[in-house]
Structure formats: C-alpha cells, structure tokens
C-alpha cells in the first residue's frame, strides 16, 4: 500500500452485518460461508481481506481467531482484522501469522490508549478515523485537527507512520450534497501534509441511492486522484474493480498497463473456459 503502488482493494465481504443467514451459521459454529466469500473476493481482485466476526450472542474473540486461522490456511492474502472489541482484536492478532492491519481506532484518548499498545506489541498497522467524542467533523479542517492528534499519539507510542492508515470518513452524498467534496478535500490535505496511506468504506458514499455500483465506481477514481491508496469495498463487483484498475493505469500506478492487460487476458480466458464447459 502506498502512493506509488497500485490501489489496494480490501475485500469487505467477510462480515455478518446485515446478513441474517450468515449470522445464524456463525452462531451454530458453521464457518463454511467464509470459504465461499474468500474465493469470490480473491477471484474478484481483492488484495487484502477484511474479517469481521461481530455477531451478537457469540464469543467474538474465539470466533475471530478461528476465522483468521481458517482463512490463512486457504489464502496468502493479508488480513485486515476488523472489530471494535479489544479482546477480539487481541485474539485476532495472536492468531494471525504475519503483519496484520487492524480496523480501526478513533481519535478519543481512551480508545487510543486501549488499542495502540496492542498494535505496537504485535507490530501491526492500524486504520484510524478522525472523529472523537464530539462525533464526525463536518469540515476537512476539523478532520485535519483530529488527524494531527492521532499522528502525534501514534508517534508517542513508537508506531512508525508507515503503519498508520487514515480513514478520511466517506459519508453519503444522498444525505449531504457536499459530503464527497469534503472527503476529497480531506484526502488531498492529508496527502499534502503527511503523505499517509488512506482507506475508507467506499460504499458509504452511495448509501440510500439507486444503482449504487455506478456511484461507487465514479467516486473511487476521483478519490484516488486526490491521494486515496486503498478502500474497504466489494471486490466481487466488476464495475467497481475495473474502475479502480483503469484509474491505476491513468494515474501512472500501472506502468505500461501490465496489470490492466494481464487482468483482461485472465477475464477472457475465464469466459472462454466457461463457454467451453457450457
């Protein structure tokens, strides 16, 4: 992940939020859906897999550790450990083999005091959101103030800034016509001041709107041009993934189109194989 690297796609699918059947399976100890989601996102082009096991009425730390262990037996892709529960983060980091990315911490002092020592101990990277006890800042300038606080606190704990990923907070344009402009301004300012890696929940911008894939596919290249280096997104949707990979090419992150051409050839081979089987 970096400003001179192709865009990093963090596959969002291994998450039970809003998936009733998946929640029921996890409560019953059935992890088989995870394997399906890993395969679908890998085929779609995910570079990292976000793993969230936040299911009510379960032992989230044990469930998260089991899911991570299972995924690492299936895939070499890095994992983004996603939980708001400190015990689950600890269990996930202990189970993970390699350098994990943790999603996430906010700018409240007490929250950073809980999470950052854990990040330091395990040599992990951390996604941090520039909001605090006052809520989500309405302007880019206010988000920069909290980002400054996060940067200074991360440095205080001896965590290198290359292990800090800022989420500039993508909000739905359906609720505020200025929301995306504020996010883009925040991305630009963070890149200019600190050169940090950034990520966000790409689908947030289109929440409540029809034909969401088209909105997300338009948003990501714009965000990339301002300095966004990754996103938690649906790696199974070709329209969005293709928009990102085309933006890599246009922004000079895919020299001579090597990745673009390789992807096209793989897609054509898969179509040919499907036609042969049919």
Q: What is the pLDDT of residue 272?
A: 85
Taking the CB of residue 157, how many other CB atoms lie within 10 A of it? Answer: 14
Under the banding of pLDDT at 50, 70 and 90, the label for residue 11 is very high
Whole-number pLDDT of residue 263: 87
CB atoms within 10 A of CB 28: 9
**C-alpha 111: how far from chain center:** 20
pLDDT at residue number 278: 61
Q: Report the mean per-residue pLDDT for the chain.
A: 95
Q: For residue range 100-137, what is the model confidence (pLDDT) as tens digits?
A: 999 989 999 999 999 999 999 999 999 999 999 988 99
Q: Which domains does the chain have, with CATH numbers?
A: 8-270 (3.20.20.20)
Give yes or no for residue 75 having a pLDDT over 70: yes
pLDDT recorded at residue 218: 97
Instruction: Name beta bridge partners: 242.
Output: none
Cβ-contact 118, 90 below 8 angstroms: yes
Residues comprising the chain, all counted: 278
Question: What DSSP string describes the chain?
Answer: --TTSPPEEEEEEE--TT-HHHHHHHHTT--HHHHHHHHHHHHHT-SEEEE----TTS-HHHHHHHHHHHHHHH--S-EEEE-S-HHHHHHHHHH--S--EEEEEES-HHHHHHHHHHHHHHT-EEEEES-BTTBS-SSHHHHHHHHHHHHHHHHHTT--GGGEEE------TTT-TTHHHHHHHHHHHHHHHH--EE--BGGGGGTT-SSHHHHHHHHHHHHHHHT--EEEE-TT-HHHHHHHHHHHHHTTSSGGGHHHHHHHHHHHHHHHHHHHH-
Instruction: Tell me: pLDDT of 79 over 90.
Output: yes
Reported as a pLDDT band with limits 50, 70 and 90, residue 143 is very high
C-alpha separations of 225 from 248, 256, 275 in Å: 9, 18, 38
> What is the Cα–Cα distance from 182 to 59, expressed in whole angstroms?
38
Q: What is the pLDDT of residues 213-270, one digit of tens each?
A: 999 999 999 999 999 999 999 999 999 999 999 999 999 999 999 999 998 998 888 8
């Amino acid at each position: 992940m970096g400003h001179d690297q192709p865009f990093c796609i963090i596959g969002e699918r291994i998450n039970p939020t809003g998936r009733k059947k998946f929640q029921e399976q996890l409560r019953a100890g059935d992890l088989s859906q995870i394997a399906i989601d890993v395969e679908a996102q890998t085929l779609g082009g995910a570079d990292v897999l976000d793993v969230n096991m936040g299911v009510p009425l379960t032992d989230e730390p044990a469930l998260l550790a089991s899911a991570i262990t299972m995924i690492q037996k299936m895939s070499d892709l890095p994992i983004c450990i996603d939980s708001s529960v400190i015990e689950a983060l600890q269990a996930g980091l202990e189970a993970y083999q390699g350098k994990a990315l943790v999603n996430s911490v906010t700018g409240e002092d007490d929250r950073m005091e809980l999470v950052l020592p854990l990040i330091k101990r395990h040599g992990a990277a951390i996604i941090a959101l520039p909001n605090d006890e006052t809520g989500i800042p309405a302007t880019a300038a206010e988000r920069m103030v909290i980002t400054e606080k996060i940067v200074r606190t991360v440095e205080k704990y001896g965590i290198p800034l290359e292990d800090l990923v800022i989420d500039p907070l993508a909000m739905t344009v359906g609720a505020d016509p200025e929301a995306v402009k504020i996010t883009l301004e925040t991305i630009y300012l963070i890149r200019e001041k600190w050169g940090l890696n950034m990520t966000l929940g790409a689908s947030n911008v289109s929440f409540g709107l029809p034909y969401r894939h088209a909105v997300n596919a338009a948003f990501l290249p714009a965000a990339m041009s301002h300095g966004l280096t990754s996103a938690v997104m649906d790696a199974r949707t070709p329209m969005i993934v293709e928009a990102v990979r085309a933006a890599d090419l246009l922004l000079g992150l895919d020299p001579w189109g090597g990745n673009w051409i390789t992807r096209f050839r793989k897609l054509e081979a898969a179509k040919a194989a499907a036609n042969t089987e049919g």
